[in-house]
Chain A
Amino acid sequence: QQPVQSPQAVILREGEDAVINCSSSKALYSVHWYRQKHGEAPVFLMILLKGGEQKGHEKISASFNEKKQQSSLYLTASQLSYSGTYFCGTESSSGYALNFGKGTSLLVTP
């Protein structure tokens, strides 16, 4: 049930772009994206729902391919504040629990 995230880690220079991928073997109802900084709780970034609805904030975008059960998070013109661990969480069509991937560690350097 746990979604698979890739890559495991990314190092960027400020201003560069990155893509984080998330895939599931189950039919999905929604995909959530969160960012967690050291010692803090995860913070919501975006939710993508089956059918195309998206809810989120910040200058971060994402896509959801319902046929492939895959989602990608796009970080453009990265800022130092983007550093942290990114988790995707998936909610299957048949279940109600949100399961998270193992996370992608992102470091943005000056």
Chain B
Amino acid sequence: EADIYQTPRYLVIGTGKKITLECSQTMGHDKMYWYQQDPGMELHLIHYSYGVNSTEKGDLSSESTVSRIRTEHFPLTLESARPSHTSQYLCASSVRGHEQFFGPGTRLTVL
């Protein structure tokens, strides 16, 4: 079944740790996105990709990095987590002109 997956779903870590949030989709979509969202607040686009080896930064300044080595995989990495990174991170994928599918999200808490 075509779907989009995110792991872990919940993560609590200490300040200074390096973390990678995983996102995979089985729909063959060329476009993938990472959004950051605080509870009840707006969706901030932090990274997106048009396809393999293509990544762009979004409107929200972020200390994270992404890579797109395979079509289905779009991981997000924080080299040194800080309490200000505490938020929900949503991954999404789409084909231009069609519905954008969201993953279930990763709730990150940095102590």
B-contacting residues of A (Cβ < 8 Å)? 1-2, 29-30, 32, 34, 38, 41-44, 47, 49, 55, 85, 87, 89, 91, 96-103, 105
A42 touches B43 (CB 8 A): yes
Known A-B contacts: A87-B42, A98-B92. Give 19 more (CB < 8 A): A29-B96, A29-B97, A32-B99, A38-B39, A42-B43, A42-B102, A43-B102, A44-B99, A44-B101, A47-B99, A49-B97, A55-B98, A85-B40, A96-B50, A96-B96, A98-B33, A100-B42, A101-B42, A103-B42
Contact partners of B40 in chain A: CB under 8 A: 38, 85, 105
Contact partners of B103 in chain A: CB under 8 A: 41
Summed over the interface, the residue pairs from A and B with CB atoms below 8 Å come to a total of 59
**Also in contact, A99 and B105, with CB within 8 A (given A29-B97, A49-B97, A91-B96):** no
Contact partners of A44 in chain B: CB under 8 A: 99-101
Bound-state Cα–Cα, A30 to B96, Å: 9
Closest to B54 in A: A96
Q: How near does chain B come to A14, taking the closest CB pair, in angstroms?
A: 23
Q: How near does chain A come to B92, taking the closest CB pair, in angstroms?
A: 8
**Also in contact, A96 and B31, with CB within 8 A (given A44-B100, A55-B99, A89-B100):** yes
Bound-state Cα–Cα, A91 to B72, Å: 22
Contact partners of B92 in chain A: CB under 8 A: 98
Contact partners of B31 in chain A: CB under 8 A: 96
